[in-house]
Amino acid sequence: MVGENRALVTGITGQDGQHLCELLNAKGYEVFGLIRGQRNARREAFEAEFPFVHLVEADLTDPTSLLAAVRASEADEVYNLGAISHVGYSFRNPQLTADVTAKGVLNLLEAIRSSGRADQVRFYQASTSEMFGGLDYNRPGNGYTEDSLFHPRSPYGVAKLYAHWIARNYRESYGMFVATGILFNHEGERRGLEFVTRKISNSVARIHLGKQQHIVMGTLDPKRDWGYAGDYVEGMWRMLQQDKPGDWVLATGETHSVAEFIELAFKEVGIDNWQQYIKYDERFMRPSEVDLLLGNPERAEKELGWKREVDFPGLVKLMVQHDLGMESASQN
């Protein structure tokens, strides 16, 4: 083996998994990635782009496969990024969300214990700002911290809260090195098209190129603390390099509405009258909404020496420019 450290990443085919495997590879890690399904549609493209990753077949809902993955990788660091991660989808698939996003974490922690490697493994759990819920009564003026009250507003948020607490419980009960990263929204060129920022950047590029007429949206009012995914995986890695495990918020400390994102994205292609390109469809509304998320990254900045590099205008620009390039090169 080339690298000294060995990492196992679940959710490696997702946005954060791709950024993280790149970062770990650059740091000399031997990287193992968990891939699910007998014929995963993302496998071929993933293998072409990240040939250095050893793919291990397993599923967060299948304890036997997880034990085999932990044994095969002999990982020192396990990053649990795998999840049903789309909030809207979680309302329509609440039980699946609970099985993967909540119980999957328990399955993975138990696999690590059963493997006999609990003392050697440092574990990262991908917790989320969705656990806070964005309601007025629990929202501190200077942003949510690690100690703020939770009030999840979706099956996804509730599943993630279970995951957060079971991870903390394994730290307290068994002395495992378990870190949780409470991450606010982070986006970029690898974001799935089902999430609002990428849907917007891709649609704006297509409209500019004459491939699409409108963007069909839900509510434009919610505000999010949006950062760049490449910055956030650095924070995940730093959490596992600490002397002691803990819980850290990663955020930018700024919040912007969906409408602001749209406005800036259209500006990037020289369009000011963006409203005429937006259509509304109830399909994209959620039974309960998270109106405003704003994080306070003070602890991470102080203890991890972490700070985001890409600001909000930089993020919008990066995504629109990427999608202009991608859409110009494709026929569809």
Does 29 participate in catalysis according to the annotation?
A: no
225 binds ligand NAP (CB under 6 A): no
The interface partner of residue 258, options being ligand G4F, ligand NAP, none and the CB cut-off 5 to 8 Å by kind, is ligand G4F
Size of the site for ligand NAP (CB under 6 A): 28
Q: Name the amino acid, one letter, at 206.
A: R
111 vs 262, beta carbon nearer ligand G4F = 262
Q: What is the dihedral of CA 259, 279, 318, 225, to 10 degrees?
A: 30
The residues pairing with 228 across neighbouring beta strands, listed in sequence order, are: 187
From 192, 287, 314, 325, residue interacting with ligand NAP (rule: CB under 6 A): 192
**Token pair listed for 285:** 């509304």
179 binds ligand NAP (CB under 6 A): no
The interface partner of residue 100, options being ligand G4F, ligand NAP, none and the CB cut-off 5 to 8 Å by kind, is ligand NAP
Residues 6+ positions from 31 with CB-CB distance below 8 Å: 3, 7, 9, 21, 24, 25, 52, 53, 54
Residue spans of alpha helices (H) in the chain = 15-26, 43-49, 63-73, 87-92, 94-97, 103-114, 155-174, 196-208, 229-239, 258-268, 298-299, 312-329
Q: Which residues bind ligand G4F (CB under 6 A)?
A: 85, 87-88, 128-130, 184-185, 194-196, 199, 217-219, 222, 224, 258, 284, 286, 289, 293
The residues pairing with 127 across neighbouring beta strands, listed in sequence order, are: 182
Does 156 participate in catalysis according to the annotation?
A: yes
6 vs 139, beta carbon nearer ligand G4F = 139
Q: Pick the catalytic residue: 29, 124, 144, 156?
A: 156
Contact (Cβ atoms closer than 8 angstroms) between residue 178 and residue 120: no
16 binds ligand NAP (CB under 6 A): yes
Does 128 participate in catalysis according to the annotation?
A: yes
Contact (Cβ atoms closer than 8 angstroms) between residue 120 and residue 228: no
Contact (Cβ atoms closer than 8 angstroms) between residue 176 and residue 237: no
Residues 6+ positions from 196 with CB-CB distance below 8 Å: 217, 258, 261
The interface partner of residue 11, options being ligand G4F, ligand NAP, none and the CB cut-off 5 to 8 Å by kind, is ligand NAP
Q: Pick the catalytic residue: 30, 77, 130, 189?
A: 130
235 binds ligand NAP (CB under 6 A): no
Residues that bind ligand NAP (CB under 6 A): 10-17, 34, 36-37, 40, 42, 59-61, 81-85, 100, 126, 128, 183, 185-186, 192
Annotated catalytic residues are 128, 130, 156
